[in-house]
Structure 1
Amino acid sequence: MLMTVPERRAVPQEPSYKLIHRWQRHLANERLEERVYRSLADRKTGQEREILLGLADAEHRHQQHWITLLGPHAERRRLPDLGTLILSVLGRMFGSVFVLALAQQSETSSPYDSDWYATDAMAADEKIHAEVVRALAARSRAKLSGNFRAAVFGANDGLVSNLALVLGVGAAGVSTGTILLTGISGLLAGALSMGAGEYVSVRSQRELLEASTPDPESRTAIAALDIDANELALVFRARGMDTDEAEAAAAEAIRTASHPGGRHGLHVPAEGEHEELGTGLGAASSSFCFFASGAVIPILPYMFGMSGYPAIILAAVLVGLALLFTGGVVGVLSGRAPLPRALRQLAIGYGAAAVTFALGLLFGTAIG
């Protein structure tokens, strides 16, 4: 079903205070968004810089619309929306990946579709901006998809697994020393297991990709191929081309093989082309460190001498805050609202911990 843009209203001669306030807020948002895009552009080069400057210019055009509507009221400065302010602050603190992820969410949820006084062109611009920012954000996410994935999942696993372990043995009524020893053992065992698993996983993925990469030595044979019995075409057919396309590609490869620096069609990825996976050691060390950093949080109360239910409650609160943070970060980087992802992460973590806590209570009662 096609979406319809609401009919735009004529501007009243004497706009109400509420309407003026709304227009001023729109203007403040556009001004801050322009500054954010120009700030990002200052850190980039080439095509990406030009794209960001183009977005900034579009936001500047939108400002002129609200300035015209406001007239003398445009001089009054308002604070932007909270989401736009957060976008700006995180951009200065953490760099482009957070800004682009938040900008994607901001552009997607633009109010101009339902605002009677925004133009149709402005509403359309925001939709296109969302797709531009989505594409730019995808580049930044790809750079984080290896080691960052290991770090986030390592931290979450450490938080949930060690909280569940500590609550389980704590509910069984064992001594504080035993709980602390159990928590430290769980931290080391889990961190080592995560590190080893990530190393094997990343190395295996890289080896599978390398196994599918054309052999560089095969290119040396191209110039000597028998043109009348050209088996190079079979290579291109094996890669999915039809017969005519394969024959044409093979003929072009043979023609250029004699030219220095010519491309032969047998593409061999340059070093670093598969770096979006991360390195095995990088993923392993990230996973180990972040699992350990997450797993140490549930045992902090016991490390400082607390015991009993106060220690259990404090451990659960600390882990809950950490789960909200990691869930929110994942939400931001995925270009979606962070709060639902943070609450989902919290519910999953507390759910797992509640199960082991209940089992610990049952076990403690049974042996008591």
Structure 2
Amino acid sequence: MAERVTTARDLRRWRRYLAEEQAEARVYRRLARRRHGEDRRILLEIAEAEGRHETHWRALLGDRVGRPVRAGLRTRMLGWLASHVGSVFVLALMQRAEQRSPYETDEHATEQMVADEHIHAEVVRGLAVRGRQRISGTFRAAVFGANDGLVSNLALVLGMGATGVGPGVVLAAGVAGLLAGALSMGAGEFVSVRSQRELLAASTPNPDTTRHLPGLDVDANELSLVYQARGVPAAEADQHAAEVLAGLRSLEVGEEASHEEIGSALGAAVSSFCFFASGALVPVLPWLIGATGWVAVAWSAGLVGLALLLTGSVVGLLSGVSPLKRALRQLAIGWGAAAATYLLGLAFGTSVA
């Protein structure tokens, strides 16, 4: 069978792959500089693997490497973000990039390179999960607060405007909605997070229990009941209890609960208040600068739409799914709620002032 002739198209593709591998290795090294310990070591090892891929494409190109090719805009942007922005966002983007590797359908990529890319995606996913857990409590409050502010206040001002009241009334309603909603969100988030932390604390075994172990009746083995009450099978509970009483192991009352970081109650409340207020301010802006009637309605809906696309894409990014789909979903929900209240305003009023 005749050997396949290397074409100019092949060379262009290999040069592009080479540039991408070099750029991705730089991204991982820059991320590693912002991390410590195990995370840093893992990122540097991924960068080393990208270096091996680079060597493969260099070997194929040989003396036909030619002038250096720039990596794609996406990869160059990731390099900039890795140096200047929080690493959790970059890791989420890199996870998607590794999942979309073209090597699986390229005959010149080795099986090991294809496997590497899939494994890299899972490694990056694991690192991204740690980052998501660290910010999950405050980030959740921030996203919910901003979206609630955007949607609820847009619905409020459009509904009021549709009734035919003057722009001053619409503005007053919007400002009142901003303050009332932000205070309500902040207070609600404080109570929610504080209650959640208290519930988790109530489920945590009392460390003082260990002090009373020497006083237990070994034959009765009541310590076994502690394990059984937490879902351990009776035979296994008896064995654990015997080992504890024999001093072979420390007291572990059930399995350690694995909970996401929920953040502090005060941090979540402040975050929720600020982001609701900032979100609720957007729909009111046209009236604040003196716009009225359909012009104010159009500007308000447009500004909120842009903000919803932004928050939706950020959520999609951190979730490791398509930012576009999440952005469009946020937009559809927000505009749908606003349209419903606008129609209700028309039903109860006359027309936009």
CA drift of 1:181 comes to 0.2
Does structure 1 residue 297 correspond to structure 2 residue 282? Answer: yes
The 3-state SS of whatever aligns with 2:109 is coil
Q: Which residue of 2 aligns with 1:221?
A: 212
CA drift of 1:327 comes to 0.6
- Name stretches of at least 5 consecutive residues in structure 2 with no aligned partner: none
1:152 equivalent among 143, 146, 167: 143
Q: Which residue of 2 aligns with 1:46?
A: 37
2:273 equivalent among 278, 288, 303: 288
Does structure 1 residue 201 correspond to structure 2 residue 192? Answer: yes
1:356 equivalent among 332, 336, 341: 341
How far apart in 2 are the matches of 1:367 and 1:95? 44
CA drift of 1:170 comes to 1.3
Q: 1:5-31 CA distances to partner (integer Å, 9 max, x unpaired)? A: xxxx99744422x32222121111111
How far apart in 2 are the matches of 1:74 and 1:358? 63
Does structure 1 residue 265 correspond to structure 2 residue 270? Answer: no
Moved more, 274-283 or 97-106: 274-283
Does structure 1 residue 176 correspond to structure 2 residue 167? Answer: yes
2:95 equivalent among 80, 104, 124: 104
How far apart in 1 are the matches of 2:237 and 2:289? 70
Q: Which residue of 1 aligns with 2:55?
A: 64
1:211 equivalent among 187, 193, 202: 202
The 3-state SS of whatever aligns with 2:65 is helix
- Shift in CA distance, 117/269, structure 1 to aligned 2, threshold 3 Å: closer
CA drift of 1:43 comes to 2.1
Contact 1:30 1:62 in 2 (8 A): yes
CA drift of 1:50 comes to 1.6
Contact 2:244 2:250 in 1 (8 A): yes
What aligned pairs does 1:324-339 form with structure 2 within 5 A after superposition?
324-339=309-324
The 3-state SS of whatever aligns with 1:256 is coil
TM-score with structure 1 length normalisation?
0.89
2:244 equivalent among 227, 248, 253: 253
- Over the aligned positions, Cα root-mean-square deviation in angstroms equals 2.4
Contact 2:294 2:352 in 1 (8 A): no
How far apart in 1 are the matches of 2:247 and 2:156? 64
Q: Which residue of 2 aligns with 1:3?
A: none
Contact 2:230 2:254 in 1 (8 A): no
Q: Which one-letter code corresponds to 2:102 in the other structure?
A: P
CA drift of 1:79 comes to 2.4
TM-score with structure 2 length normalisation?
0.93
The 3-state SS of whatever aligns with 2:349 is helix
Does structure 1 residue 277 correspond to structure 2 residue 243? Answer: no
How far apart in 2 are the matches of 1:127 and 1:101? 15
CA drift of 1:139 comes to 0.7
CA drift of 1:242 comes to 2.3
- Shift in CA distance, 222/165, structure 1 to aligned 2, threshold 3 Å: same
1:319 equivalent among 296, 299, 304: 304
Moved more, 326-335 or 43-52: 43-52
How many residue pairs get aligned? The number is: 353
CA drift of 1:267 comes to 7.6
- Shift in CA distance, 126/180, structure 1 to aligned 2, threshold 3 Å: same
Q: Which one-letter code corresponds to 1:143 in the other structure?
A: R
What aligned pairs does 1:230-245 form with structure 2 within 5 A after superposition?
230-245=221-236
The 3-state SS of whatever aligns with 2:247 is helix
What aligned pairs does 1:86-97 form with structure 2 within 5 A after superposition?
86-97=77-88
Q: Which one-letter code corresponds to 2:251 in the other structure?
A: H
- Name stretches of at least 5 consecutive residues in structure 1 with no aligned partner: 1-8
Q: Which one-letter code corresponds to 1:15 in the other structure?
A: T
- Shift in CA distance, 289/179, structure 1 to aligned 2, threshold 3 Å: same
